[in-house]
Copies of this chain bind each other. A is one copy, B any other.
Amino acid sequence: MKVFKHPAREQWNEFLKRPNPDNKEIVESVASILENVKAKGDEKVLEYTAKFDNVQLKNLAITQEEFDACDEFVSQKLKDAMKVAYKNILTFHTTHRENYHVVETMPGVRCWRRALPIEKVGLYIPSGTAPLFSTVLMLGIPAKLAGCKEIVVCVPPQADGTIHPAVLYAAKMVGLKSIFKVGGAQAIAAMAYGTESVPKVYKIFGPGNAYVTAAKQMVFRDGLAIDMPAGPSELMIVADETMPSSFVAADLLSQAEHGVDSQVILVTFKEEYLKRVQKHLEAQLKELDRKEIAEKALEFSVGIIVKTQEEARDIVNEYAPEHLIVGLRNCNAFATEIFNASAIFLGNYSPEAVGDYATGPNHTLPTGGFAKMFSGVMLESFSKKVTYQQLTTEGIVNIGATVETMAEAEGLSGHKNAVTIRLEYLKNKEKEGK
Contact = CB atoms under 8 A, between A and B. Distances in A.
A276 interface: no
A374 B129 CA distance: 34
Interface string A194-218: 0000000011000000000000011
Given A354-B389, A358-B402, A375 B384 contact: yes
Contacts of A371: 384, 386
A409 B78 contact: yes
Contacts of A85: 402, 406
Nearest to A137: B406
A117 interface: yes
Contacts of A284: 417
B390 A346 contact: yes
A350 B347 CA distance: 52
Contact of A257 (B87, B289, B347, B414): B414
A389 B158 CA distance: 34
A315 interface: no
Contact of A419 (B339, B342, B351, B386): B351
A84 B398 CA distance: 10
A265 to B, nearest CB: 16
A414 B290 contact: yes
A321 to B, nearest CB: 11
B294 A414 contact: yes
B91 A103 contact: yes
B344 A412 contact: no
Given A349-B396, A353-B416, 13 more contacts: A92-B105, A92-B111, A95-B103, A113-B361, A134-B406, A225-B370, A257-B413, A290-B411, A294-B414, A343-B389, A350-B396, A353-B415, A359-B389
* A-B residue pairs, 7 tightest by C-beta: A361-B387, A81-B405, A257-B414, A88-B105, A346-B390, A351-B418, A105-B360
